[in-house]
């Protein structure tokens, strides 16, 4: 058995096992490969990851709060993971742990068109924001960054590029990406973020990385205004597909992954 897992804390809500197991079945690898969710507290993370190759694991996805720790323990890093400062994908090969970041390319793949030349607003300054800012700058967007704690946005921009903003002008952006945790526990995005419910416009693309059982209030408002909306499940599918391709060297079945990620268990 070749084992894969998502490592997080908490991780029970993750759609990754359903999504990856459906993809593995579709690829005819369902007998040989299995993907599971493993909840690891931060103080257990490194010891457990180092034991995984001996337990038949060939790779893992890493989610909150372990993306920095995953980078720190790896023997080799991709250029992308090193620059972003976070890893969401580990591969165990020939006694080595390799760290990669597929969140960045996953976001770009989820966009229906290239962000080149587009004025983009990234909300947040955590790990997810770093991947988004890195990806959008690499593809030549003009990136502004807003964060509740302004100093974190300033530090992020010093390291990666982009411009910190404190009072973004919502209609001025062609692309708005919410990477904050707002909405995860039912918070009102229009109370917590510098956005107005009526401030979206057709022609904008709005991405909300938060995904839950209900559709995000942010995307509902954007969609009502005629904006293109991309939800966190689509970005999850795209980053997962890139990880799965690295592990299996096969073309991931995107539609199967989307369907499985959206189905309730």
Residues that bind ligand ATR (CB under 6 A): 64, 124-129, 147-149, 152, 179-182, 187, 192
Least distance to ligand ATR from the beta carbon of 133, Å?
11
DSSP label at residue 52: G
Burial 187-204 (b: 16+ CB within 10 A, else e): eebbeebbbeeebbeeeb
Of 28 and 186, CB closest to ligand ATR = 186
Least distance to ligand ATR from the beta carbon of 53, Å?
26
Catalytic residue among 3, 20, 67, 238: 67
Q: Say what the alpha-carbon torsion angle 245, 246, 250, 255 is, to the nearest 10 degrees.
A: -10
Least distance to ligand ATR from the beta carbon of 79, Å?
20
Of 37 and 182, CB closest to ligand ATR = 182
**13 vs 249: CA distance, rounded Å:** 27
Taking a C-beta distance cutoff of 8 angstroms, is the pair 106, 203 a contact?
A: no
Of 112 and 149, CB closest to ligand ATR = 149
Q: In the annotation, is 2 catalytic?
A: no
Of 128 and 176, CB closest to ligand ATR = 128
* Burial class of residue 154 in the structure, from the number of CB atoms within 10 Å of its CB (0-12 exposed, 13-18 middle, 19+ buried): middle
Least distance to ligand ATR from the beta carbon of 87, Å?
12
**Residues labelled catalytic:** 67
């Amino acid at each position: 058995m070749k084992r894969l897992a998502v490592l997080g804390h908490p991780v029970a809500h993750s759609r990754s096992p359903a999504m990856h197991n459906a993809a593995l079945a579709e690829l005819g690898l369902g007998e040989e490969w299995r993907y599971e969710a493993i909840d690891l507290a931060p103080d257990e993370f490194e010891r457990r990851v180092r034991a995984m190759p001996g337990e038949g694991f060939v790779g893992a996805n890493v989610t909150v709060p372990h993306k920095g720790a995953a980078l720190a323990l790896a023997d080799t890093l991709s250029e992308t993971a090193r620059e972003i400062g976070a890893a969401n994908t580990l591969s165990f090969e020939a006694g080595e742990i390799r760290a990669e970041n597929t969140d960045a390319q996953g976001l770009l793949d989820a966009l229906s068109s290239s962000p080149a030349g587009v004025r983009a607003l990234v909300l947040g300054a955590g790990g997810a924001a770093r991947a988004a800012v890195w990806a959008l700058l690499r593809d030549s967007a003009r990136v502004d960054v807003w964060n509740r704690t302004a100093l974190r946005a300033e530090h992020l921009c010093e390291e990666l590029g982009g411009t910190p903003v404190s009072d973004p002008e919502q209609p001025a952006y062609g692309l708005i990406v919410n990477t904050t945790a707002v909405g995860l526990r039912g918070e009102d995005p229009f109370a917590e973020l510098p956005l107005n419910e009526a401030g979206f416009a057709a022609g904008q693309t709005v991405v909300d990385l938060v995904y839950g059982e209900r559709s995000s209030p942010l995307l509902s408002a954007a969609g009502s205004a005629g904006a293109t909306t991309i939800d966190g499940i689509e970005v999850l599918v795209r980053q997962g597909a890139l990880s799965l391709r690295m592990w299996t060297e096969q073309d991931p079945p995107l539609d199967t992954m989307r369907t499985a990620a959206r189905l309730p268990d």
